[in-house]
Chain A
Amino acid sequence: MSLYKAELRRLSKRRVTTYMGLLGLLVLAAVAVGTFFSNQKIGPAHIAAAEREAEQVYQEQLEYTQYERRLCEEAQRAGTPSDGKDRFPPDCSSIEPPKREDFRPEWYLPETFEFRTDFPQAIIGWALILAMVAFIVGASFVGAEWSSGGMTNLLLWRPQRIQVLLAKLGALVTGLVGASVLTGLAWFGTFWLIAMTRGSTEGVTAGVWRSLLLTGLRGVVIVLAAGVVGFALAALGRNTALALGGVIAALLVGQVGLSIALAIAQVEFAEKWLVSTYVLAWLNKKVTLENWTSCTQTVTGTCEPARLEIVWQQAGVLMAAVVLITLGAALWLMRRRDVT
């Protein structure tokens, strides 16, 4: 217990923890401020203006279609030879005026923050920012200990390698859970305020709250997974740079290269091989991939693209496998390898 407490204290004292935490908070604050200023609350004046604008655009389109029909009829009467591009249809009556209901006033409203529909995307942003911070803090927490000799010192005090590594991991997970919960609550509160002042909180039922909380919970899980994977990779390489370099290489070279190769090979649903698809599937509950080169006939005779759904359970299994494999390897190597 004393080791765990010491590690928790060490984690909080580390510069990387402080700086990355501040950087994460800064980015989150920038997102919140940007959202605040790019949205506004809709009042009767905005609605009236939007209705006026919708009516105005409708009238303009009405005049335009009448003008076009007139030109069409004149061209037919004059027997103007076609230039081959068939500007007008053979039957000018087919140039119909638009319907009024096609010009909906809400399209002409300024941006407004609807908590019920817009906040889930904000949760995803929060989780991804925090996951990046968690990965770096996790990797540095063990990697810097190895490269600075701190781990050797610690093992001279506590010659129980697995216990030492797990105490560090426990401290990291505790720190990440704490940071996730605190920033998560602040995120909920901030966006609730944004919705109240720059949008709407209508329609947020108990079911919506439950759904938002579950999305937040999945966000916390991905933050923890990123932290643990960073920790495990740095423990494997006994170096922070190896974890960071490995992930950058895997994401940039591996994923970008893979997506190019799959595109060249014209593999169907190439995105199903990309990590980002599974991250989004986990956070969004589902990602639907569409293949626009194929056509599935519907009963109404229309052509629909082939679809593939990746659901959060699949993403969860993949994430758990990555976490278990990297952490298992790190623990095994910690036990076996000499400290030279």
Chain B
Amino acid sequence: MIGGQGVAPVLEIQGLEKTYRSRRHGVRRALDGFDMVVEEGEVHGFLGPNGSGKTTTLRTLLGLIRANGGRMAIFGEEVPAALPRVIGRIGAIVESPQFFPHFTAYDTLSLLAEAGGVPQRRVGEVLDLVGLAERARDRVKSYSLGMKQRLAVASALLKEPQLLILDEPANGLDPAGIREMRTLLRNLADSGMTVVLSSHILAEIQLICDSVTIISKGRRVAAGPVAEVLARHSGSGLRVRLEAVTDLPVAAEVLTQAGARVTVHTDHLMVESAEKPAWVTRTLAARNLYVSELTPVTADLESVFLELTETASIPGQASQSAQSVAVSTTSGTGGRGA
């Protein structure tokens, strides 16, 4: 465990830095002190716009890229030094699945199993699990992108991993395939596997994941359980309309004085930080202001994501701790940088 006590998280990244230097493009900071924590048994969404550092993070974590700074640990062991020891417990796919096109799916997995010392019986099991058993003897070049994705997931599952890291596993899948993938991941999580899932399909992340980390420009901008991240961002709250529109400014002042965060719109108020809807009704009624509509408004992950990543700090101008928002998880971690 990095700098803490108690049960080590399955995955922990602290202050990760990666800088690329080239004569053509100069210096580019791909990761700028990035933090991430994933607890055991979670399905953890890893979100960020293109080029934000998601794949760099995963590649660095898995020893494919050398970090310039920071610390990483998997199962409490520092990586990349301990990677050869812990890799047997990790299944991973990074970016688009790429396989030798002239090999069959069976051969592809069989060779990986042999290289990793995994029993050959697992090959059939995982092909069955991802629904490729019938096409196992076909060459990979005849596969659709969705089938290649499923093969990639199968390769990651071969080792019966305790930590599954999937980079955009839903790419190329049709709606039915996405649903199958969602069910598969949920089943895996229910069996006790920890899953880190990077995806652009935010609705999927919202459906599947227990917690999220949002990265932008190489920095963490939000982290925590999905529900809490949603609650904290993008104007989730109550939409309040009054009988008389002219009373809106007065009502806003009353609620603000009572401790709520209020935004005044032309025909309604948005109230955040209210304890309960009834509290709003009671507070306003006490001042003879009568509510005509009281609607809870929930933000979706997409709007939160867009808000956070569009307003992300410019590297070098503010510290991550000032920008990132971490919400305490039920197990009490994830508060770093808040």
Contact = CB atoms under 8 A, between A and B. Distances in A.
Contacts of A336: 66
Contact of A159 (B63, B103, B159): B63
Q: Most chain-B Cβ atoms within 10 A of its Cβ — which of A7, A15, A159, A160?
A: A159
Given A2-B114, A2-B117, A338-B65, A13 B103 contact: yes
Contacts of A159: 62-63, 80, 83-84, 87
Interface stretch (B7-15, B94-102, B182-190, B200-208): B94-102
Contacts, number: 78
A146 B83 CA distance: 21
A152 B94 contact: yes
**Interface SS, B side:** loop
A155 B90 CA distance: 12
Nearest to B114: A6
Given A152-B94, A159-B87, A340-B65, A2 B99 contact: no
B92 interface: yes
Given A149-B99, A152-B98, A153-B99, A158 B64 contact: no
B100 A148 contact: yes
A7 to B, nearest CB: 7
Interface residues of B, number: 30
A157 B116 contact: yes
A158 B115 contact: yes
B101 A148 contact: yes
Given A2-B117, A15-B102, A150-B100, A157 B87 contact: yes
B100 A3 contact: no
Interface of A: 2-3, 5-7, 9-10, 13-15, 144-145, 148-150, 152-160, 336, 338-340
Interface of B: 59, 62-66, 80, 83-84, 87, 92-94, 96-103, 107, 111-112, 114-117, 155, 159
Given A2-B116, A148-B100, A156-B94, 20 more contacts: A2-B117, A6-B111, A6-B114, A13-B111, A14-B100, A144-B100, A148-B98, A149-B97, A149-B99, A152-B98, A153-B98, A155-B62, A156-B64, A157-B115, A157-B116, A159-B62, A159-B87, A160-B84, A339-B65, A340-B64
